[in-house]
Structure 1
Amino acid sequence: MMLFSRRRIWLLIFAAILFFFYRSFQSLNSAGPVPPIPASFRWSSFKFHHPVTSMHQLPTGKPLALPRVQNTFGTESASQRTLRLTRQKAVKDAFQRCWNSYRDRAWMSDELTPVTGEHVNTFGGWGATLVDSLDTLWIMGLRAEFDEAVAAASNISFEISSLPESTTREINVFETNIRYLGGFLAAYDLSNDDRLLKKAIEVGNMLYVAFDTPNRMPITRWKPHAAARGKKQLADEHVLLAEIGSFSLEFIRLSLLTGDPKWYDAVQRIMDLLQKQQQKSKLPGMWPVVVNARAKDFTQHKDYTLGAMADSLYEYLPKTYALAGGLLPMYKDMYKASMETAIRYNLFRPMLPDEKDVLISGMVILNTDRGETVAQIRPEGQHLVCFAGGMLALGGRLIQNQTHVEKGEKLTDGCVWAYQAMPFGIMPETFYMLPCESAEHCPWDESKWRQGVARIAGLDSNKAAPAKIEALIARKRLPKGFTHIPDTRYILRPEAIESVFILYRITGRPDLLESAWAMWEAIDSNTRTELANSALGDVTLTEGKPEKSDSMESFWLGETLKYFYLIFSEPGLISLDEYVFNTEAHPLKRLLP
């Protein structure tokens, strides 16, 4: 028998070691062979790695008689009714036009591209526009279309074995929750069609698996195929506040409808932590935009806002209090504490050429100066944060705090002002303004405004030549009052009309109807395509028309058109004393005494 030399033996050993490490590396990092998911797979029978051993139970007792939210409206005249119905019909016609184009060209896909007439899947490929539009169809009285849509939606499968990984490799749990779960729940609450509750349970069972982590904090950007194959999960260290804190309306409503407390339990674990840490953050009362779900630490980041990345957490606090009929007072307490801080630090009065007394909500950034923490306002307005006016008005009514209602009015008026000030009558996605030195007295000072424009552009406002500043204003197309517009798009957002609608229902101010109609005419005339309506690239143009970007997110039919329709409806349709809207404008029934 031939013997191996010592050198050859060592080479073989070395090769074996290399092979071992290669296979180990391959198993950890490659997309090699993976176990198949059985065709019979169901999220409802998922085997959890970290099952709940002590479940929070749903609150019991008779719901409280919470304060009335809606204004008491008088009888409208014949001419007022005719005008209102004419405007309502214009919105409904626009919806039907968009819906028919979606039905003809993008049926069962997530979105229609409104210029080219193609279809795209951006939210799992589960028919986001279809599901988002169910309750709008019902509210607008389009029963035949609703019945057809429910039949189609009933055939959507959220069981992972039937879905291509190309559209569901990673899903945004927050977006899936507010669009799909919220959409099915609202359509069920309106119609009592059991098929819709069945689909809501199916989505709820899927989303519940994202909470299967050692500390029961959810994975917000979740890989469902990996979970279905049994891969263990860890919550992330960097999570957006809105994406971890905006489950309460949908999950609690699902638990109330089914009697199964598991979704309530999942939410309660998050909210308990938020409440315990609310006064321990760097800006006590609020939570930063980025939190550590793995360490269960919601205090460390330095940026605080009511806007993007945090918005719907704050929105859900008063709404969940109302949804649960006052049986969860922690939500009321958290809302009051957070708004006390936000009103003090985040809201500012901008200096305007007409000196109108309005408010804008900005970002607070905490910095350290000589060992002291200093809160600095970044005066950036956002179309998205326009929801805050309606939130404060609603929350103020629910907890009987008139200051909140007044702040909500001024925030909403600020968004209306921003619409009216732009060339096409449409607010851009983001913009900067110059905060007033005093909220009580704020005269227009054009030289200060010009200095503000120069400063934010990185110029020395004391040395820059007036002609250079003037050229900067012209080049950036800045209406007076705006110091910078970094994002000039309009993406068919609903937040401004959302607050106008809520504030109208709460106060009955007739001028809000005229503001809503002006907004509608500006939006529809500039976004309309041959098929539907499209997002716009630049609403600051002073010549020509803004370019259409061939995008129509599902919230156009699910939110924006719904709010425009409802403000021109009779006030009893989806009363705020009977429903709360989730952040995707899906109305969920409140518990009432």
Structure 2
Amino acid sequence: MSFQAPYPPSSLSPSPQNPGRLSPAGYNSRSGLAGLGLSSTTAGLPNKLGTFFEQDRPLPMYKDKPHFAPRRTAPRKKWRPLLALLGLSIIAYFFYNQPNIPRWQRSGGYDKGAALWNWMQTLDDSSASEKHVDWNARREKVREAFQVSWEGYEKEAWGFDQYNPVSGRNKNMIEGGMGWIIVDSLDTMIIMNLTSEVRHARQWISTSLQYNQDHDVSTFETTIRMLGGLLSAHYLSTQYPNLAPIKEDDVGASGEDLYIEKATDLADRLMGAFETHSGIPYASVNLNTSQGIKSHSDGGASSTAEATSVQLEFKYMAKLTGEAEYWKAAERVMEVVDQQEAQDGLVPIYIHPDNGEFKGNNIRLGSRGDSYYEYLIKQYLQTSQEEPVYKEMWDESLRGIRKHLIAFSKDANLMVLGERPAGLKKSLSPKMDHLVCFMPGTIALGATSGLPLSVARKSASWNQQREEEIFISRELMKSCWATYLNTKTGLAPEITHFVLGDEPVMMEDKYPEPSKSGSTFEMTSISQPLGSLPDGSEPWRKDVTVKSNDRHNLQRPETIESLFYMYRITGDDMYREWGWEMFKSFIKYTSVLEEKPPAIAVPGSAGTTWRIKGFTSLSNADIIPPTTRDNMESFWMAETLKYFYLLFSDRDFISLEEHVFNTEAHPFPRFKPSGDLKTGWQRKTSRKAEN
């Protein structure tokens, strides 16, 4: 029997454990544990630049290796066919007897689900009793939450694309499955150094994952999750060999190319989506035929965000394989979008693949608009800041955002990143999707290029515009945090509306652009932090409203993603503390419970009868106990828990200076463009803001 976790009572908590790890090869650690993101003290903000940017480190070139050919270093042995026949016999046996073979078995006698349940009872009192914050121990709790989520999936849904932890049901998105959860979560397991889990996933990918299904899939989702997950796993497993080490992944091993071979197969199939008159990809593609398919709605138009958020993946694919076709197809999309000369860098949320023209006037940074802006700055960073066209487009968009979309709430002066559903000349809607909360961290990333703020401020390129961007990122971060504080569970709804005055106060009204006014932007103008008055009232809540249809929480990562960037860039522990409060709320209110088998031991908790079997999204996050949707989103393990883990890690672990994360949180390395793999187009002119 299983059900959603109720509001837990208090009890004693087991002491958190923090096992030591080895540092990845070649990693510049400041302590014996820092190589895996662990440190004995709260992480500082060192200036760690010289080891990476002072040299152009080459990336491994998959094209130099046999394409889809087995590696042989010795003459073929006569006995190998007999071994192959034996292997096929074993596989056939397991295939026909699969229903009788347990797909999951808890290792040893330690039940992480029961231990996490016990710990959950102490959450109301734990923060007040902590005299010293042990971020390593907190990070370990995130790791345990991932392991519990993964074990539940292994037990009840192994190999399936969707998992319903409350009912224990599962299903595939298409016949044969896509590896939706396994591939998407793979690099999280590598980062968390979960060797046995990675080995199980790798085995499934090797023996069961194939992309020849006669079915259409989302071009965007398949690219960012599946292609991105495989590419990231390939990078991490070869460049960080001490993270979840598996012999088959070692450089030169016979299985080293597994992830990149699967990625190449998938990328070649996805390329058919780009075969349009304009170069704008179709919304979907048939995996078997590589035939692009128009959207079945919106007049056949593709989502602008989806069409322009596949570039990081295909550019890295091109760098690994040396195949320029991937690069050219993805970059052509950016050229076509820029040719439409969107006003003030703000693009409508639909674009036609037939002619490359925008459809409609809806301007927003939520769904269907968000990651277009994200990939502008990230393309610039991915290629080591050597493609300035994307930085120029990013800066132009930011000016448009501050001019048209940023306003302040009526009483509390909360910064609101709104929408213009009828175009820039029509009224502002004070609606913020949770998806918009990627922006605070992305703006900070763009302002500093991932450097610590204290270092970036000393650079010759730092100016008042960058200072203002840090201000905007801080204020938007606070507004996103307010959406969590505003619900009874402490988990944000999918959509939040803010109350504006009769005449909305825009960013331009409150803070004239420094470049135009000649004024000096001062950080002292930051509004007051959220809090309560002496009488216990919290006036800021009057400016935040949630409609009944918007109260669901989908385990989304955008706010914790921004907290990760904000902490690593500013060094402010406040962002870590906000993240810790969020994590505790997820544990308390999204847990799915089941009765614990009496034979499973839980150290220090002999009387425990319940265990957490997994975590679910919510239908209503504003009541206690919340109502569930009975679904574990794949990005819960791929993004949300990963960003929690990285937030509580040392800042040099998978550093921002050396990496760029795609929109599904899959880390890729930065590299220098060369040969045909560089910007193949130029803007006609730099467009100035229109009045």
Pairwise TM-score range, normalised by the shorter structure: 0.7 to 0.9
- How do 1:230-309 and structure 2 match up within 5 A? 237-277=300-340, 280-281=341-342, 283-298=343-358, 300-309=359-368
Distance 1:287 1:175 in 2: 20
1:213, distance to aligned residue in structure 2 (A)? 2.9
Structure-to-structure mapping, 1:64-213, within 5 angstroms: 73=45, 83-122=134-173, 125-160=177-212, 163=213, 165=214, 168=215, 170-192=216-238, 193=249, 194-213=257-276
Correspondence for 1:347: 406
Which residue identity is paired with 1:188? H
The answer (yes or no) to whether the contact 1:126–1:156 under 8 Å persists in 2 is no
**TM-score normalized with structure 2 length:** 0.63
CA distance in 1, matches of 2:147, 2:545: 39
- Give the 3 Å change call, closer, same or farther, for CA 547–411 of structure 1 in structure 2: same
Per-residue deviation, 1:585: 0.5
Q: Name which of 558, 562, 572 aligns with 2:638.
A: 558
Q: Which amino acid aligns with 1:577?
A: E
> Offset of 1:332 from its aligned partner?
0.9
SS of residue matched to 2:420: strand
TM-superposed CA distance for 1:221, in Å, is 2.2
Q: CA RMSD in A?
A: 2.5
The match for 2:428 is: 377
What letter is aligned with 1:509?
A: D
Q: Please point out which of 490, 509, 515 is paired with 1:425.
A: 490
Q: Which residue of 2 aligns with 1:316?
A: 375
Q: What amino acid maps onto 1:190 in structure 2? A: L
**What's the counterpart of residue 73 of structure 2?**
none
| Contact persistence 1:422–1:479 (CA under 8 A) | no
Higher gyration radius (CA): 1
Q: CA deviation at 1:89?
A: 1.2
Cα distance in structure 2, aligned partners of 1:311 and 1:503: 19
CA contact (8 A) 1:246 1:316 kept: yes
Kindly indicate whether structure 1 or structure 2 has the higher relative contact order, using CA contacts under 8 Å at least 6 residues apart.
2
SS in structure 2 of the partner of residue 432 of structure 1: strand
**Partners of 2:477 and 2:186 in 1: how far apart?**
28
Q: Measure how far apart 1:234 and its partner are.
A: 6.8
Instruction: For 2:427 and 2:294, locate their aligned partners in 1 and report how far apart those are by CA, in whole Å.
Output: 34
CA distance in 1 between partners of 2:390 and 2:163 (Å)? 38
Please point out which of 437, 441, 446 is paired with 1:386. Answer: 437
Determine which of 559, 565, 568 is the counterpart of 1:502: 565
CA pair 333-155 structure 1, distance change in 2 beyond 3 A:
farther
1:88 maps to amino acid: R
Distance 1:358 1:112 in 2: 37
User: How big is the shift at 1:362?
Assistant: 1.4
Opposite residue 362 of structure 1, the aligned amino acid is G
Distance 1:392 1:73, change over 3 A: same
Distance 1:569-1:301 versus aligned 2 partners, 3 A rule: same
Q: Which amino acid aligns with 1:311?
A: D
Residues 534, 344 of structure 1: alpha-carbon distance in 2 compared, 3 angstrom cutoff: same
Q: Which moved more, 1:95-104 or 1:80-89?
A: 80-89
In structure 2, C-alpha distance between the alignment counterparts of 1:260 and 1:80, rounded to whole Å = 55
CA shift for structure 1 position 430: 0.5
CA displacement 1:410-439 (0-9 Å, x = unmatched): 111111122112211111001211125446
Q: State whether residues 432 and 482 of structure 1, in contact with CA within 8 Å, keep that contact through their aligned partners in structure 2.
A: yes
TM-score where L is the length of structure 1: 0.74
Q: Deviations over 1:385-426 (max 9, x none)?
A: 100111111111128522222211111111112211221111
1:395 aligns with 2:460: no
Alpha-carbon distance in 1 for matches of 2:319, 2:46: 35
Mapped partners of 1:74, 1:258: distance in 2: 34
Indicate how the Cα distance of structure 1 residues 438 and 361 shifts in structure 2: closer, same or farther if over 3 A, else same: closer
SS in 2 for 1:213: coil
Aligned partners of 2:308, 2:281: CA distance in 1, in Å? 10
What percent identity do the matched residue pairs reach? 32
User: How far apart, in 1, do the equivalents of 2:339 and 2:132 lie?
Assistant: 50
